[in-house]
Amino acid sequence: MSGNTITHDVAAAGERTGTTRGTSVTHHRAARELGLRRSEFDLAVHLGRVRTVGDDAGGGRRVPRDEIDRVRAADGFPEALRAAVRAVGTTEGAALMDVTTARFTRLARLGLLVPVKFYVNRYRAVVWLYLAAELQQFRTDERNTALLKGRTPEGLREQLGEGLDLRPRNWRGRHLGFLLRQADDPWARAAAVASLLDAAEISDVVTDPYERSHLRRFRPARAVHGSPGSPAAQLAEEIVTAGDPDEVDWLRSDLAAAVATARRHRPAPRPATHGVPHPPGPEPLPRETAEPVPPEGENAAPRAARQPGRLSGLFGRLRRRES
């Protein structure tokens, strides 16, 4: 990930056009027509192997029928497509690379193997998944022979001993690329970057409350891991939120640039007001009505009883005038 992350794939995003219900299908229908399980299809979309477009009617993203025809006409379909989206865990991945699971885990923690998915199992452990095709490519590259068979270099062993684990960060970088490919609006691209930062960082970078509110409209939905507030959900939240200081700095820089671009393209909407606009939220009571007024009714105290000081002075002045 780098400071210019937000700028890549903008041209590709511009080539995508809207679609109508008559010329596109849902993800479920597209997966069935392509002979993929839904998880495989979602990964194909994630990797950019199946193009999707926004729904003109305001629903979720859909798959154009001509895209289904293109994928089906590709050489080796459907076996080649299934092989491209095959994801494996640590045990199967180690077997594919002919290494122990311990060595496989070390390579992944060092950032040499990049996960494509993760989930939290019933034991509250994070399970990382990798593309089988990428693991096989890593194994066949002669430059990696020493890493697969030899002793791990001392410098790398020291980093591992200090707790280095680049799997979450590498997954976030990969996931951001997916979100940017799906974003077809400058505010959506800014929201994609913001989705990897915590709320405090976003507020620090985007100081305008109306722009923050607009960003929330485009915030991509996060995958559900357990019930809200559960340990599994909290663990997943830690993974999807950047924590490394340098990564946070890069994302902050990307977010600032993305919001500036979106602002030039289309400023965030603001309510029409005749005076100084208030930030989103409950309107403050005017100073003279700051004290709540109880409802009218048979048990409501008369207004005079709530202001005895003012009325007693008024009656006194009237008596003096009459006398």
pLDDT tens digits, residue range 223-258?
A: 888 888 899 999 999 999 999 999 999 999 999 999
Which residues face 223 on adjacent strands? Answer: none
Mean pLDDT of the chain: 83
Return the pLDDT at 223.
81
Retrieve residue 151's tokens: 């002793």
What are 236-244's contacts with CB under 8 Å, separation 24+? 236/118, 236/120, 238/168, 239/118, 239/126, 239/168, 239/171, 239/172, 240/172, 240/175, 240/195, 240/196, 241/196, 241/197, 241/198, 242/169, 242/172, 242/196, 242/197, 243/168, 244/169
Based on the fold, state whether residues 153 and 96 are members of the same structural domain.
yes
What pLDDT, on a 0 to 100 scale, did the predictor assign at position 12? 41
CB-CB neighbours of 175 under 10 Å: 23
Maximum Cα–Cα distance across the chain: 113
- Residue 209 token pair: 């409350």
Kindly provide the b/e burial profile for residues 12-35, where b requires at least 16 CB atoms within 10 angstroms of the residue's own CB: ebeebeebeeeebbebeebbebbe
Domain assignment of residue 97, yes or no: yes
Q: Of 147, 165, 183, which residue is a domain's last?
A: 165
Provide the CA 247 distance to its chain's centre, in angstroms.
Answer: 15
Q: pLDDT grade, residue 22 (50/70/90)?
A: confident
Same domain assignment for residues 171 and 132: no
Do 174 and 152 share a structural domain?
no
**Domain identity same for 108 and 79:** no
Q: How many domains does the chain have?
A: 3
* Residue 54 to residues 28, 84, 190, 321, Cα–Cα distance (Å): 15, 25, 17, 78
Residues 189 and 161 occupy one common structural domain: no
d(CA 93, CA 191): 34
The residues near 266 (Cβ < 8 Å, ≥ 6 apart) are 186, 187
Please check the confidence at residue 155 and state whether its pLDDT lies above 80: yes
Residue of 175, 322, 196, 323 whose CA lies nearest to 258: 196
Higher pLDDT, 55 or 99: 99
Alpha helices in 199-288 (DSSP H): 199-205, 209-218, 231-240, 245-265
Residue 8 within a domain? no
Between 263 and 272, where is the model more confident?
Answer: 263
- Model pLDDT, residue 60: 81
Element (H, E) at 180: helix 167-182
Q: Is residue 300 part of a domain?
A: no
Residue 223 and residue 129 share a domain: no
Task: Name residue 162's amino acid.
Answer: E
**Would you say residue 35 lies in a domain?**
yes
More confident residue, 8 or 71: 71
Of 209, 221, 215, the residue nearest 261 (C-alpha)? 215
What torsion, rounded to 10 degrees, do the Cα atoms 71, 75, 76, 79 define?
Answer: -20
In-domain check, residue 195: yes
186 and 157 in one domain? no
Does 102 share its domain with 46? Answer: no
- Looking at the fold, whether 149 and 185 belong to one and the same domain comes out as no
Strand, helix or coil at 111? Answer: coil
Residue 65 lies in a domain: yes
Assigned domain for 146 exists: yes
- Chain-centroid distance, C-alpha 36: 25
Question: Are 76 and 116 contained in the same domain?
Answer: no
User: Which of 165, 181, 215 finishes a domain?
Assistant: 165
| pLDDT in the model for residue 34 | 97
Query: In this structure, is residue 201 part of a structural domain?
Result: yes
Answer with the one of 251, 268, 285 that is the final residue of a domain. 268
b/e 241-277 (16+ beta carbons within 10 angstroms → b): bbeeeebbebbbbbbebbbebbbeeeebeeeeeeeee
Give the least confident one: 14-23, 96-105, 145-154, 281-290. 281-290
pLDDT band with cut points at 50, 70 and 90 for residue 275: low
**Residue 35: which domain range?**
18-85
Q: Are residues 178 and 211 in the same domain?
A: yes
Same domain assignment for residues 187 and 141? no
pLDDT surpasses 80 at 291: no
